Structure 1
Amino acid sequence: MRADRLVAALLLMQSRGRVTAAELAEELEVSVATARRDLEALSAAGIPVYPQAGRNGGWSLLGGARTDLSGLSESEAQALFLLVGPAAAVSGEAKAALRKLVRALPQTFRAEAEAAADATLIDSTRWGEPERQRPAMVELLQSAVVRRRTVRLGYTNAARERSDRLVHPWGLVDKDDSWYLIAGTETGQRTFRVDRIVAAEPTDQPSQRPNDFALDQAWEQVVGEMERNRSRTWATLDIETRFVPILRDQFGRHCETETDLGDGRSRVRVGAPTPLDIARHLAGWGALVEVLEPPSVRGELARIGVELSARYGPTPT
C-alpha cells in the first residue's frame, strides 16, 4: 500500500464522513479492488476504519476519529516534519504524503512545518561507495506487518544452517543499514536478520501480536541482550587520561572510567566477548596501557607479544 494513498484515504474519510471503495478508487485513480484492499489494510493495521453495509454504506472512521493533525501543538508539528521531511527527499511516495500532511495542518502552522520539512536532507550515497538499496525483502515483510499476516520464513543462522518456520511479524528495525525482523514464533519472541532470510511467503492466516507490544521497547531488549553478549569479559587497565577518549571510541559503551588516579592517568574498565578480543584491541597500544586484571587478558597479551617478537624480532646471525 502506497503511503500517499493511505494518507489521502484517511483525509477523505474525515472530510466526507463516509466513503465507498468506488469513490476512493475514483479519487485516487486506482481500481476498486485496490481501493478496497487499502481500506482493509488500514483496518487490519489497527486504524479505526470500519465498513458499514447497506444501501448507504461505505467506510468511515469510528467515532469521528480525526487525522487532520489539528490536535498537534506548534512544537509537535515542527518535530513531526523534521522527522518526515528527510524521508520525502528519497521517496516520491513520501513526498506526496508529506504534501497531504502539510495541507492537513492548521493554517498558522503550515509555513514553519514546510520549513522544518526542508531543513534536513538525506544523501544516501556514501563517499566512494555505491548507493545502498533497501533490501526488497523489507517491503514484503513491512506489508505483512501492516496487514497482520503470518509469514513462512526460510532462514539461515550464523553457521549457515537453514530452518523453515511460520512467524508472526511484529516489526522491522533498520540498524546501521542492517535490517532486523522482530517476530513471534512458537517458542516466543525472536529476532531475525533480514539478510539471512532466504525465502519469505506471506499467508492468509492472521498474525497474532500481543496487545502490549511496543517495537521500541522490544528493540531495547534485543540491544541489551546483544550488548551483554558482547561484554562477557571485562578488563581493568591504567592509561594516560588524555588517551581515554580514543579508547572509548574503540570500545564504545563498553568502556567505563573508574577513577582519576591523580597523576595524569585514569583507571578504566573495557569489555568484549572474550579475553582474546580485548587483547587484540589493546595489543596495538603497547606499553601505553597496563592491564591489571584479569589474568586471562594479560596472558593473551603476553602470547600476542611472543608471536610478534618471533615474527618481527631481530634476525639471528
Structure 2
Amino acid sequence: MRADRLVAALLFLQTRQRVTAAELAAELAVSERTARRDLEALASAGIPVYSQAGQGGGWSLVGGARTDLTGLTAPEIRELFLLTGTDAHTSPQTRTALRKLVRALPAPLRDGAEAAARAGVSDGTDWAGIETEDAHLGPLQRAVVEARQVRIGYARPGGEPRERTLHPLGIASKSGVRYLVADTEQGLRTFRVDRVTSVTETGAPAVRPEGFDLPTAWRALAARMEDRMVATTVRGRVAPGTEGILEGLLGGRIRYGERAPDGWRPIEADGPSPEVIAAQLAGLGARVELLEPPEARAALSRIGTELTSLYGETGA
C-alpha cells in the first residue's frame, strides 16, 4: 500500500545522506517511476524533502542524514501520522514503524504525533460498504488532532442538512466508509463523513471524556449499529443466478438454504426493518419472492404499485 511505502521512504531518507530514485526503488521493490512519484508526494505534502539534479544528485531530507526527523514541523508530523491512521490496508509493520518514529521525535513534537496516531481506527470486518468521497475529512481530522469543537452540517439520506455541535474524538474506517466518532449532548455518536455538508470550528476546545480510547469506543458503537442493522429477518426464495447480486446488496446479512429442483434457493436476510430489506431487494423484480413477514410483502407490493403508477405498464 502506498501509505506503507511513504513511511518506508521517509525512514530510508533519514538513514542516507542522499538517495536516488533508483536506489529507493530497489529498497522498496517498486519501479523507479513509482519511487520518484512517492518522493514527489512527500515533498508536495510539506515533508522537507528536496531533489538536486546533476551528477552526484538525488533526494535528501533537510537537516542531513542523522536528524532524528527534527527537520519536520508539527503540522508535517501530524500529516504523516494521519496519512496511515484511517487506512484499512495499513500493515502492522507500518504501525510498528510509526510507534518507533514517535519515540525518535523531539519532545515538543511528540504530543501532536501521538494525537494524530490516536485519531483513527480501521475496522476490517464487512458491512458490504463502498468507497466514499469525503470532502470534509481533512477539517474533521484536524479538529480531532487539535481538540477543537466543531459545528457540522449533517444530512441523512433524503433529508435536509441539520447543524450539530460536536466534540470530535476520532475517525473510524469500515468497509470503505469513514465515520466521525464524537461526543454530543446525547453521548457518544457516529456520523458518516460523506454525509457531512459543512465543518466550522466554534473556537472552543473539544472535551475528551476521561479515559476515552478510540478502538474501545468504536467497538461499542459499531456493535450498537450492527444490532440495528439486523433487527429483523425476512424469509423468501431467489431465482438461479441471483446470489452474486444479493451478496453485493446485503453482504454477510444473507443466508441460503438448499437449492430446490427448480433451481430456486430459500433465503433469510437480516436488516433494520422489513420495509428497508424490501426496498433493497425491489430492484430484483420477479427474481426474488419474499414470503414473510407480511410487512415485507406489503412493502414490495406498495413499491410495485408506485412504480407502475409512475411509469405505466411496459410497452404502453
The structure, 1 or 2, with the larger RCO (C-alpha pairs under 8 Å, 6+ apart) is 2
Q: TM-score, normalised by structure 1?
A: 0.48
Q: TM-score, normalised by structure 2?
A: 0.48
Question: Larger Rg: 1 or 2?
Answer: 1
